[in-house]
Structure 1
Amino acid sequence: MIQTLKDQLKRPMRDIRISVTDQCNFRCAYCMPAELFGPDFPFLQEKELLSFEEIVRITKILATFGVEKVRLTGGEPLLRKDLPILVEQLNAIEGIKDVALTTNGVHLPKQARALAEAGLKRVNISLDTLDEELFKKINGRGVGVKPILKGIQAAIDAGLEVKINMVVKKGLNDQHIVPMTKYFKELGVQLRFIEFMDVGTSNGWKFDYVVTKKEIFDILSQHFELEPVKPTYFGEVAKRYRHKGTDAQIGFITSVSEAFCSSCTRARLSADGKFYNCLFATEGSSLKDVIREGASDEYLTYMIKRIWEKRADRYSEERTEESAKQRKKIEMSYIGG
């Protein structure tokens, strides 16, 4: 069954990003600006979220399409109660080889070990600067850097593979590229530079704010000797480099300057159960609704296959500043990173 469905797809589906909540303890300028996501913002109620049972059911079906990797996102996924239970259930699914998590890291000191024991393998932790005041400004909640660094260390101590995600925005934190690289090189943790993207419609994106991979690489080349690392699989998003003579790596996510739409193998599932083919999608198809109406696994399989096979998303390749303004896209906090 798994091999048959996998072979039927024109484009492989390798991993699924599952948002388990749209809520977050930050109001980050990149995806949840405080002026829009204030205390009265109507986040999803618990009954509107996919249950763990529903998430596991959908993931079992996706595994028959060849999905091997699951990444849990948000909002902030560690705000979802009993998350280690979901991790354990996902790890038990035939065909799933890797369950990971994207987080701001604040709650990792309390949860990292339980997540690792449940089978979590990796965490991507968002940190855009080591500067205390700037980081407080970026996260919108006055949270300093120390809680994130404690979360990083807790993940390392729990045996989790750790990657750091740094969104680089011109005029905001681009001067911190080198200090961040030095710090995480010494720590032996991969730092990934993410070009500032126009995810959603609320982060004030402009081309002028983008610091491209080439620009970042040119800055780094003045301070470090870097050598390219070969991709480990088709559709690998990060372009990776190694600090020469070490195992320490950096990566680049280049969805603005070097789009990778043609090799994308990711699908996305929102916290309220909508299936999306693209991070920059305008709308999704509700799997939750058909599940709660009593749909069979056979119908869900048919529905997912039809959506995936009609995939024609090339937004990053076709983006212009004008099209970015006109297109109303799903917010990052809703669909996950």
Structure 2
Amino acid sequence: MTLDTRKFEVLRISILSHCNFACVYCAPKEKENFSPQLTHSHSLSPDQLDKNLNLLKPHLKIKEVHLTGGEPTLHKNLIELIQIVKNHSIQEIALTSNGHFNPDLLEEMVSSGLTRINFSLDSITQSIFERLSDRKIPVSHVLNQIKKAKQIGLKVKINTTVLRGLNDHEVLNILTWCGEEGIPIRFLEFMKMGPLQKEHPSYFYSAEEIRNQIRLKYHFQDYPTPQDSTAQYYITNEGYIFGMIANHTEPFCEGCNRLRMDSKGRIYGCLSDETSFVIPESFDEIQSTLHQAMLTKKNKFTGSELSMKYIGG
């Protein structure tokens, strides 16, 4: 797929830039001020979201809006934001969360139009969960949230970022738990972004190493994967579905159809490029801006100083 034929079809929106976790790969405490210009928190207002969608929709056929953060469930106007997206006739409305929120919020989000939720779950062992998240929160709370989300009819996926020496030995345990619950899991290679950019080689654990671990216990084969998917999916003989998001070793950049918006309402064409754009008011200028954003897309993931909590992944 070339830049000439590629289209923005998925809009990922970081609705706020702060989080109630301080995960080691995103916001380690010892590096809180690694980039002074990025230390201030911002939240996207409902009016700004509505305005930006009105500006973008004549130019884009948006098939999915994905709300991220930071931790999006901390946004005081989250339900209103979901309703705004639904009012724009977006069929697929997704959200990524660490699962640490009031359980009653799940029903509210579904009633407002949410169709899918992705949970970030990097460990199911309490001590490792605490070390990775830097929070003394029962991992059982997150696991129960995941189960409840599935029970009330949301499509659910699990995202697990694998880091060498921290949670790489948990791959089989997490896969087994997800498989027994009937929930697909995606294992993510640790991305060269944000505060641990320089330490990336020390923590990096490849997709092939993850697959080799899984082969110790399970037989698996390829599973049908959409062309624009960030993951390559597999299925075990037991029916457990898992994916690999391997930005570094198995890049999928050529099929990327994602446009990103940060909590200030600025848009980005590529996760590996810090160039952002204000959405202009003029129809012709918007067309030109989207073209410029598309030109920032890379052929492979090269990393960025931006922390994931500012651009939303």
Instruction: Report if the CA contact (8 A) 1:10-1:309 is conserved.
Output: no
How far 1:26 moved relative to its partner?
0.5
Q: TM-score, normalised by structure 2?
A: 0.90
Distance in 1 between residues matched to 2:18 and 2:159, nearest whole Å: 19
Correspondence 1:168 to 2:162: yes
Cα deviation, residue 174, structure 1: 0.6
Distance of aligned partners of 1:266 and 1:277 in 2 relative to their CA distance in 1, 3 Å threshold: same
CA-CA distance at 1:229 after TM superposition: 1.1
Deviates more, 1:300-309 or 1:28-37: 300-309
Tell me the secondary structure at the aligned position of residue 218 of structure 1. Answer: helix
Q: Percent identity?
A: 29
**TM-score, normalised via structure 1 length:** 0.84
Alignment of 1:68-217 (within 5 A): 68-94=63-89, 96-107=90-101, 109-202=103-196, 204-217=198-211
Counterpart of 1:44 in structure 2 is 41
Q: State whether residues 281 and 329 of structure 1, in contact with CA within 8 Å, keep that contact through their aligned partners in structure 2.
A: no
Offset, 1:207: 2.7
Identify which range, 167-176 or 211-220, moves more after superposition: 211-220
In structure 2, the partner of 1:311 is 296
Q: How does 1:10-21 map to 2 (within 5 A)?
A: 10-21=5-16
Query: Which SS does the other structure have where 1:28 is aligned?
Result: coil
Q: Aligned to 2:60, which of 65, 73, 78? A: 65
Q: Which residue of 1 aligns with 2:305?
A: 329
Q: In the alignment, is the contact (CA less than 8 A) between 2:159 and 2:186 conserved in 1? A: yes
How many matched pairs?
307
Cα 1:131–1:66 change in 2 (3 A) is same
Structure 1 residue 265, shift from structure 2 partner: 0.8
Cα pair distance change 1:44/1:89, threshold 3 Å: same
CA RMSD of aligned residues (A): 2.2
Aligned to 1:276: 268
1:54 matches 2:59 = no
In the alignment, does 2:229 pair up with 1:236?
yes
Q: Structure 1 residues 43 and 198, CA, compared in 2 at 3 Å: closer, same or farther? A: same
Residues 25-57 of structure 1: per-residue CA shift (max 9 Å, x gap): 01110101112338x994325xxx432122123
Structure 1 counterpart of 2:286, from 275, 296, 301: 301
**Secondary structure of the equivalent of 1:54?**
helix
SS, match of residue 285 in structure 1: coil
Offset at 1:244?
2.2
CA contact (8 A) 1:72 1:101 kept: yes
Report the Cα offset of residue 279 of structure 1. 1.4
The answer to whether the 8 A contact 1:242-1:249 is kept is: yes
Distance 1:82 1:26, change over 3 A: same
Which structure 1 residue ranges, 5 or more long, are not aligned?
1-7
**For the residues of structure 2 that align with 1:284 and 1:278, how far apart are their CA atoms?**
9
Residue 65 of structure 1 and its aligned partner are, at CA, apart by 1.6
Aligned equivalents of 2:77 and 2:93: distance in 1? 16
> Match for 1:29: what amino acid?
V
SS of the residue 1:35 aligns to: helix
Unaligned runs of 5+ in 2: none
CA offsets 1:272-302 (integer angstroms, 9 cap, x no match)? 1221111122231133xx5xxxx34x15632
The equivalent residue for 2:244 is 252
Could you tell me which amino acid in structure 2 is paired with residue 156 of structure 1?
Answer: K
How far off its partner does 1:312 sit? 4.0
Question: In 2, Cα distance between the equivalents of 1:212 and 1:122?
Answer: 27
* 1:91-117, Cα deviation, whole Å (9 max, x unpaired): 2214x2211000001115131111011
